[in-house]
Amino acid sequence: MNIEVKVPAVGESVTSGIISEWLKKSGSYVESGEVLFVLETDKVSSEIVAEKAGLLTTKADEGAAVKIGEIVAIIDTTAAKPAGGAAPEAPKDSAPAAATHASDAPVKTSPAARRLIEESGVEPGTVPQTSPGRVSKQDVATFLTSKSEAPSAPPAQAAAPAAPTVPLGQRETRRKLSPLRRKIASQLVSAQQTAAILTTFNECDMSAVMALRKRTQDAFTKRHGVKLGFMSFFIKAVVESLKAVPAINSRMDGDDHVQNSYFDIGVAVGTEKGLVVPVVRDADAKNFADLEKELSAAAQKARDGKLRIEDLQGGVFTISNGGIYGSLLSTPILNPPQSGILGMHTIQERPVARDGEVVIRPMMYLALSYDHRVVDGKEAVTFLIRVKDCIEDPTRLLLDL
């Protein structure tokens, strides 16, 4: 019996995706529940598993764009499981793969190799072949590189043409954007075109938070099983600041102004495939340990590509920490439809004035980008100063001051 493997629905607004990787190859035997391929959409990546055991035959290549409901593979459930769990491989060509060719066999030259031969002036018959009877572009590039590394000819002889540092035809790579990267690009352009984005800056002294972390880190880790980081302090500071300046906890919806009364905070996480923003729900009701555990779990899910669409929706404000990459200062872009985003930056020891004296303190620049359509400059500055005060005196967060 043949079972059709279809692209499943992974969200209401998702209509298509890309098969980013086949984890089981065509012709292999798969068990029920084994991951067949990774489906990448403009929101999340999902691992698609086999419903039944059997022999797999794929119908779509890696990198192919597929629609929801499209058949991408067939599983033959009547096929017997081969010994060792692997399907028998097709007989391989017995011809040797040595880089030689018979003098009487016709030699084919790929178009890219032919162009490279013409441009470099190489005699076609002198290029060794890695595949008998065929000269590839890589064969020509390897031959040119070996010639450039050979001892130079005597001055009386004409010098051979030097091979380019990067072989012709390999100077650039063109590929389509992934769905996630296209979605990120669309969101960023949309934010720039639809919102009146303005950024205000300040800086905060991290001495108190760093001292508190150092003093309590061992006890905190031992009790809760997770380290105390900076992000939980900033989430708490943002929540307190949103309570003090409700205008930033709002958004535009067409001609309507929507005021939020909850505190779901998005935290930007960088992954190999792009930036995602998992949301910490009801951050105002969680303590530092709860926040650190949720942040750690969300970051791991993001790196593993296991975030669900629900994990990314509904945030009212975003925090982005470019400081972990060494960024000193930036102007973050809004995460639509939110009206505010806080940019954290690297901690750097700098001379500052304290009580009439110049001292060295660990300082961090803060940047608040906001939608000027719903947030006035006074409110934005008040919000950022509130964040600064909470970080410089973390007892405010602990005592709800």
Q: Where are the alpha helices (DSSP H) in 225-362?
A: 231-244, 288-304
Angle at CA 57, nearest 5°, toward 33 and 32? Answer: 15
- The answer to whether residue 372 is catalytic is yes
Q: How far apart are CA 359 and CA 342, in angstroms?
A: 27
CA distances from 86 to 24, 44, 73, 75 (A): 11, 31, 18, 14
Kindly state the percentage of the chain with pLDDT values over 70. 78
Q: How far apart are CA 177 and CA 138, in angstroms?
A: 26
Q: pTM for this structure? A: 0.63
pLDDT band per the 50, 70, 90 thresholds, residue 119:
low
| pLDDT value of residue 187 | 75
CATH H-level superfamily of 180-187+196-399? Chloramphenicol acetyltransferase-like domain (3.30.559.10)
Could you give the residue range(s) of every CATH 2.40.50.100 domain in the chain?
Answer: 2-84
Q: What is the mean pLDDT of residues 358-371?
A: 96
In this predicted structure, the answer to whether residue 133 has a pLDDT above a threshold of 70 is no
pLDDT band per the 50, 70, 90 thresholds, residue 311:
confident
Please write the tens of the pLDDT for every residue from 188-200: 787 777 788 999 9
- The answer to whether residue 101 is catalytic is no
Q: Which of 61, 218, 282, 376 is catalytic?
A: 376
Q: Which residues pair with 17 in a beta bridge?
A: 66
pLDDT band per the 50, 70, 90 thresholds, residue 103:
very low
Q: What is the mean pLDDT of residues 142-154?
A: 61
Question: 362 is written with which tokens?
Answer: 């660990």
Please write the tens of the pLDDT for every residue from 367-381: 999 999 999 999 999
Q: Which CATH class is domain 2-84?
A: mainly beta
Q: Which of 372, 389, 393, 400 is catalytic?
A: 372
Q: Picking from 50-54, 131-135, 187-191, which range would have the lowest pLDDT averaged per residue? A: 131-135
Kindly state the percentage of the chain with pLDDT values over 90. 40
Could you give the residue range(s) of every CATH 3.30.559.10 domain in the chain?
Answer: 180-187+196-399
Question: Do 113 and 135 contact (CB within 8 A), yes or no?
Answer: yes
Q: What is the mean pLDDT of residues 105-132?
A: 67
| pLDDT value of residue 94 | 43
Please write the tens of the pLDDT for every residue from 271-299: 777 788 999 999 999 999 999 999 999 98
